[in-house]
């Protein structure tokens, strides 16, 4: 099985990514680490537990991580994800289990004790930057970093040029891109914007599996309203599950290797600058994804979600 740590800020689409990962038998989820992003880390931790309880997987440990970005003032995305981070779904709190402290320590230890670990980072990169800074020597055991974040041709979602995960903690993102032991697979807005959960698809999920359909309906209603009001789009873009799907099936996306730097101040703060022409004459540190087979993604997502067994 592929060993994986999921670093996330759940978050509606993070929760869908967790559902996909949990329903993928190829993956061994060693732990879920939480970073402040869409919601403060304490709320994100509760949301991860809600997904684990729903799927009967409270055996997967959850570690709480960084409360705020390295330097910048923390700005959540509760306007998009709801105050509770799960679209005001008001799911009951999970009290059956304890949350582990120290996500950063967990990442370091896991890398020290395991080989070939994939880090799936679907929130701001604060926890990863702290773990890299603390103990760079264990990172040779990191097989890949897949990061949902950034954008190349597509416009930003927080500013004209910046995507939320890198914009929220640009110093962490810059540190990770500058010091990464492996090229970062950047599942950016160019590809994730093409992944839209429509009411039709949601209805189909519900017809096939009412339990999971009801859960997804509950957590996405707010997200649907947000997309309709802000962008006049019927349906919602679900960014984070594509990162999981790309790990499971790399042929789903295409891109190119390049040097990427993250802007840490000024008007373009948080922008992922991609040196497509090689101006900087530096080795590449990222695989920048630009194309996705959206239909095959949806096929994989639906198949796995619908077949989810009751706990």
Residue 296: how many CA atoms within 13 Å on its side-chain side? 11
Which of helix, strand or coil describes residue 261? Answer: strand
Instruction: Say how far apart CA 295 and CA 297 lie, in whole Å.
Output: 5
Do residues 182 and 144 make contact, with C-beta atoms less than 8 angstroms apart?
Answer: yes
Enter the DSSP assignment of 141.
G
Site string for ligand BDR, 46-85 (x = CB under 6 A): -------------------------------x--x-----
Length of the chain: 311
Least distance (Å) between residue 309 CB and ligand BDR: 26
Select 11 or 270, whichever has its Cβ closest to Ca ion. Answer: 11
Name the pairing type of β-strands 62-64 and 27-34.
parallel
Tell me which of 4, 6, 13, 187 binds ligand BDR, using CB under 6 A: 13
Using the structure block, give the residue that is written with the tokens 């990770």. Answer: 176
Select 148 or 292, whichever has its Cβ closest to ligand BDR. Answer: 148
**Binding interface with Ca ion (CB under 5 A):** 9, 11, 14, 122-123, 240
Q: Where in 249-308 is the site for ligand BDR (CB under 6 A)?
A: none
Least distance (Å) between residue 187 CB and ligand BDR: 9
Rg of the chain over Cα atoms, rounded to whole angstroms, equals: 18
Q: Name which of Ca ion, ligand BDR, none residue 84 binds, using a CB cut-off of 5 to 8 Å depending on partner kind.
A: none
Note whether 122 binds ligand BDR by CB under 6 A: yes
Q: In terms of Cα–Cα distance, which of 163, 161, 110 is closest to 139?
A: 110
**β partners of residue 254:** 291
Select 70 or 138, whichever has its Cβ closest to ligand BDR. Answer: 70
Cis peptide before 280 (omega within 30 of 0): no
Select 124 or 235, whichever has its Cβ closest to Ca ion. Answer: 124
Q: Where in 212-251 is the site for ligand BDR (CB under 6 A)?
A: 239-240
Q: Name which of Ca ion, ligand BDR, none residue 188 binds, using a CB cut-off of 5 to 8 Å depending on partner kind.
A: none
Give how far Cα 48 sits from Cα of 19, 117, 168, 232, 256, Å: 10, 20, 20, 30, 33
Q: Name which of ligand BDR, Ca ion, none residue 77 binds, using a CB cut-off of 5 to 8 Å depending on partner kind.
A: ligand BDR
Q: Name which of ligand BDR, Ca ion, none residue 82 binds, using a CB cut-off of 5 to 8 Å depending on partner kind.
A: none
Using the structure block, give the residue that is written with the tokens 């880090």. Answer: 119
Instruction: Say how far apart CA 4 and CA 142 lie, in whole Å.
Output: 10
Q: Where in 140-199 is the site for ligand BDR (CB under 6 A)?
A: 148, 157, 163-165
Least distance (Å) between residue 287 CB and ligand BDR: 18
CB-based closest residue to ligand BDR: 164
Note whether 24 binds ligand BDR by CB under 6 A: no
Residue 181: how many CA atoms within 13 Å on its side-chain side? 20
Q: Which residues are at the interface with ligand BDR (CB under 6 A)? A: 11, 13-14, 38, 77, 80, 122-123, 148, 157, 163-165, 239-240
């Amino acid at each position: 099985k592929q060993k994986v740590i999921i670093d996330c800020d759940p978050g509606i689409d993070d929760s869908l990514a967790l559902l996909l990962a949990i329903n993928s038998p190829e993956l061994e989820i060693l732990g879920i680490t939480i970073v402040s992003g869409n919601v403060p880390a304490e709320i994100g931790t509760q949301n991860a537990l809600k997904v684990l309880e729903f799927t009967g997987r409270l055996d997967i440990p959850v570690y709480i991580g960084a409360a705020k970005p390295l330097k910048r003032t923390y700005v959540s995305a509760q306007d998009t994800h709801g105050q509770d981070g799960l679209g005001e779904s008001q799911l009951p709190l999970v009290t059956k289990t304890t949350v582990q402290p120290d996500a950063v320590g967990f990442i370091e230890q896991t890398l020290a004790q395991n080989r070939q670990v994939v880090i799936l980072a679907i929130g701001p990169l604060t926890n990863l930057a702290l773990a890299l800074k603390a103990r760079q020597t264990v990172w040779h055991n990191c097989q890949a970093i897949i990061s949902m974040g950034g954008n190349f041709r597509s416009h930003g979602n927080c500013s004209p040029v910046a995507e939320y995960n890198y914009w929220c903690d640009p110093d962490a993102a810059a540190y990770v891109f500058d010091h990464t032991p492996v090229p970062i697979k950047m599942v950016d807005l160019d590809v994730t914007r093409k992944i839209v959960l429509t009411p039709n698809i949601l209805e189909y999920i519900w017809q096939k599996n009412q339990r999971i359909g009801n859960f997804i309906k509950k957590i996405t209603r707010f997200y649907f309203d947000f997309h309709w009001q802000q962008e006049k789009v019927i349906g919602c873009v679900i960014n984070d599950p594509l990162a999981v799907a790309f790990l499971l099936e790399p042929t789903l996306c295409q891109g190119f290797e390049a040097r990427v730097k993250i802007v840490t101040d000024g008007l373009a703060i948080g922008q992922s600058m991609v040196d497509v022409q090689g101006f900087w004459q530096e080795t590449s540190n990222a695989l920048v994804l630009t194309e996705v087979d959206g239909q095959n993604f949806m096929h994989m997502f639906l198949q796995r979600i619908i077949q989810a067994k009751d706990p």
